[in-house]
A and B are shown apart, each in its own frame.
Chain A
């Protein structure tokens, strides 16, 4: 039982607990137990888990039991396979974007057995991949016939994610997912890297994950041989290692990232047979300069005028999320900032001002309006700067959310049909009220959802179903508006 002074005890064999001598008041009750999820861990924040003293007599807390995926991985002859990494992934929405994220993983033991526990109810995709460098490959010296091996597979025994069968787990479910891996033909990729002596070569799969293959590299000639590559689409990547690797700063750091440029090369490859003669020409990594146009007018000295810029890959992959903090601003001058060593691809650009005083009025790269469109970064050439315009005449939106006339905690989606990237989410408090400021002037569709993590609010297609009950609000510069929202009683956690 939590409050400024915590009270804690264990429940008895019947699950019963008694707290005595409590002063009158409201006490949030939090229950924890391995193998179960409490409301907070389930992503819900409901009012029912607050005990009111003295009126509370019999208090019932419900926990959700974990689900488990277990099974055995076997090889082509039915023999158990060990050192196979089994990963359970699920779609998750974070900051209004849908991403496939790992929810749990296990490595098959010497009997081929694995268990992935602590899974919340939901829908999962299971992948199997050799862990470490266990793929089988041909001998050295003159090339032999393609040696077969095990490559990555999805449940139930399919090669790619799009044909994988989702596994839906109810609370407490134990799902048996035995998988016999298929021996696949594997191929060799060979070629030469030019442009540096100290370098690395890696194969990236279509999910943006480094694929595990054996890479051999001759330092003097730059020649490389990669063996054990199953058929598929890959990106071949070379990097010169003498550049310093850079840690991407978190939102909270004020440090300006100024990485030294790496020498990089990327070549997309579709492997259906051996590939030879690939030439990876190293070139300085692609940098995108960031310019900050500060159009703020109020005296906000003491506030640093900073923006966090993030490149979100347009595909679901987790590879290459990159970010930069546009530096602290001293009136009249910005320090140079850039996002360096950008991996070629298509990105949504996210720009978030720090300090809670500003909004991004404009965001573009050359002729591309980044508030509407994604940015494609090619494998060579230079990029025009990303121009960020910051203003401080944002609008305010306030309101209240009710359900059946009673105030409720909920998520409030503030959706911009004109600029989906500007869409935002607010949370109503216990008394139903919510507040959002620094909104760019414009028209918004506003509606309440039970769970802020349930809506892809940057995605127009995902918003369609909600628009019928949305309230339309037009906000002018520096304006203020208020809305009343009703949360429908239906369970919309999984629309």
Chain B
């Protein structure tokens, strides 16, 4: 079962109108099914140490599905049970002091769902929980003093993704002794990075403000003091600013690794940002909001080092507090006729000037177009979304009544075209069938937006993605915990169009939101380390897979035979 479905639903919950600490279930995205059926089934078993097999007393266990959730505590013998359950598929997860937090037979974002119902045995589960890894350490400065309130980030080389790119797993802050601690870690390869601001740092400016003619108000400004105008670059364990030089921490179950980080201050970089609108006559001061992001292991991360800005002359601002190196400045202007935002990537090591009005840095081509609807009526708000996979950014434009939409100027780059629709009214069953454009190159459902000009986009929308309900069998018997893989037979758009799952305790699996087309369905045991996105690695399995044509709006039932992993 794919635990991501639950996570996505939670992520969609808007919490704007609720206090942050209140746990609130909102009706709009709540369950579709009723809880009418009286529960008579049971999930029960024993939770044991994955290594020694010894029971884990007092472990916390939880089950959840779209409708409900429950928690329980294992007894002194590690036994647990959830009683009086309605039939269904439940995600079972557990944690315990000294152990990881994991779902049952978890592999990345997949786990084996526990299916309860007539004739199914869900009462003899053995839940093997691996011991936790811990990474802890102390952050010190170049004087050897402890650094408090440092932000410590934990990155893990993503397992099973094939990309080997570290992704952020957790965040914490050092205490007054400069200490931090990450517990409940799974086996894996980790990096530790630290962001902090020297406690004595004070911003300062290098450009004196220009005095406007006739302006009698003396503008004092704080001059940069080299002793205090310093920053810590984002620093990786054991104390390097270059991620390529960072030490990897390999955690195995039960490991406790100490990773102390030493921070070294460097002079703060200064940048002049020009081309900003000056103050409107008689209006409030146009105060730009300037944010800086740095890319760490390929993902953008806000720098909390204090960014200070000061107007040097109308439309020109000095920005201080930047770490040297490549940063992305996001400059938002308010007030104004409308909020305008510019994103500029630049190397600030040697200071210099950034022209916020420069068209080559700022937004590129203007993107607009129309949607061609399928022969069904769709109601509710529907938006066309451009997803920049590389930058992990997306932009949305509402579709107007006449089917047109407009993005305005968009940053050059490669974007996937997608739809976002209200879950009500069946909007989630709409999908992008094809994309065509003038003024931009299109490959499949991906569009390359150029640096200038007008892009006229036509988005053909289909209704009703396909789905597969299946059972994985080995020697005629249901096979739980097997990797289920659906890849397009064409071998194209594999990363976007493929679907994966892990078979449940009764061998069942579900693949949802499948674009109509031709596919090959495979079930492979022990395949969680298989780099399936690599055509060469997958080739031996394709022949023994099932060829399937997915039809719009159809839900297919299929039985697939499990293949063993080839050595």
Contact = CB atoms under 8 A, between A and B. Distances in A.
Contacts of A187: none
A199 B27 contact: yes
Interface string B15-47: 011110111111110110001001100000000
Given A68-B176, A201-B24, A214-B23, A34 B181 contact: no
A3 B467 CA distance: 71
Interface string A188-199: 000000000111
Given A6-B222, A32-B199, A200-B18, A217 B30 contact: yes
Nearest to A6: B225
Nearest to B227: A8
Contacts, number: 144
A136 interface: yes
A218 B83 contact: no
Contacts of B183: 82, 109-110
A245 interface: yes
A213 interface: yes
B27 A218 contact: yes
Contact of A144 (B83, B86, B181): B83
A140 B181 contact: no
Contacts of A215: 23-25
Contacts of B17: 200, 239, 241, 243, 245, 262
A142 B27 contact: no
Nearest to A262: B17
A80 B98 CA distance: 11
A106 B18 contact: no
Contacts of B22: 200, 202-203, 210-212
Contacts of B58: 77, 79
Contacts of B67: 140
Contacts of A77: 58
Contact of B72 (A66, A110, A139, A214): A139
A209 interface: yes
Interface of B: prevailing SS? loop
A115 B173 CA distance: 12
B73 interface: yes
Contact of B84 (A136, A142, A200, A262): A142
Interface string B203-225: 00000000000000000101101
A5 interface: yes
B97 A82 contact: yes
B68 interface: yes
Interface residues of B, number: 53
A137 interface: yes
Nearest to A135: B71
A209 B18 CA distance: 12
Given A200-B17, A202-B18, A136 B26 contact: no
Interface in B80-126: 82-86, 97-98
Contact of A34 (B21, B60, B199): B199
B27 A139 contact: no
A102 to B, nearest CB: 12
Nearest to B86: A141
Given A200-B24, A216-B25, A218-B31, A139 B85 contact: yes
B199 A8 contact: no
Contacts of A140: 35, 39, 67-70, 85-86
Contacts of A115: 175-177
Given A77-B58, A109-B183, A115-B177, A141 B24 contact: no
Given A77-B58, A82-B97, A106-B175, A198 B26 contact: yes
Contacts of A32: 199-200
Contact of A219 (B27, B176, B222, B223): B27
Contacts of A217: 25-27, 30
A241 B26 contact: yes
A118 B173 CA distance: 15
Contacts of B70: 137-140
A137 B71 contact: yes
B32 to A, nearest CB: 9
Contacts of A106: 175
A198 B176 contact: no
A136 B97 CA distance: 16
Contacts of A198: 26-28
A35 interface: yes
The bracket for how many chain A residues form the interface is 35 or more
Nearest to A110: B183
A109 B181 contact: yes
Contacts of B26: 198-200, 217, 241
B202 A142 contact: no
Contacts of B31: 218
B52 to A, nearest CB: 19
A133 interface: yes
Nearest to B200: A32
B296 interface: no
B228 interface: yes
Nearest to A138: B70
Interface string A78-115: 01101000000000000000000000001001110001
A311 to B, nearest CB: 17
A219 B202 CA distance: 52
A9 B228 CA distance: 9
Given A8-B225, A8-B228, A110-B184, A136 B69 contact: no
Nearest to A241: B17
B63 to A, nearest CB: 8
B322 to A, nearest CB: 21
Contacts of A4: 220
Nearest to B70: A139
Contact of B21 (A80, A197, A212): A212
Given A199-B27, A217-B26, A219-B30, A245 B16 contact: yes
Contact of B23 (A6, A197, A212): A212
**Most chain B CB within a 10 A radius of its CB, from A34, A66, A209:** A34
A473 interface: no
Interface string A10-25: 1000000000000000
Given A9-B227, A245-B17, A202 B71 contact: no
A209 B21 contact: yes
A141 B18 contact: no
A141 B72 contact: no
Given A142-B84, A239-B17, A245-B17, A34 B69 contact: no
A117 interface: yes
A198 B30 CA distance: 10
A209 B19 CA distance: 9
Contacts of B84: 139, 141-142, 144
B148 interface: yes
B223 A5 contact: yes
Interface string A111-147: 1000101100000000000000100111111101000
A140 to B, nearest CB: 4
B24 A117 contact: no
Contacts of A139: 70, 72, 82-85
A111 B25 CA distance: 31
A199 B176 CA distance: 42
Given A82-B183, A214-B69, A241-B28, 13 more contacts: A6-B225, A8-B225, A79-B58, A110-B184, A115-B175, A115-B176, A117-B176, A139-B70, A201-B25, A212-B22, A222-B27, A239-B18, A241-B26
**4 smallest A-B Cβ distances: which pairs?**
A219-B27, A141-B39, A210-B22, A117-B176
Interface of B: 14, 16-19, 21-28, 30-31, 35, 38-39, 58, 60, 67-73, 82-86, 97-98, 132, 134, 145, 148, 175-177, 181, 183-184, 199-200, 202, 220, 222-223, 225, 227-228
10 contacts: A4-B220, A6-B223, A110-B134, A139-B83, A140-B39, A142-B38, A200-B27, A203-B22, A218-B27, A239-B17
Interface of A: 4-6, 8-10, 32-35, 66, 68, 77, 79-80, 82, 106, 109-111, 115, 117-118, 133, 136-142, 144, 197-203, 209-219, 222, 239, 241, 243, 245, 262
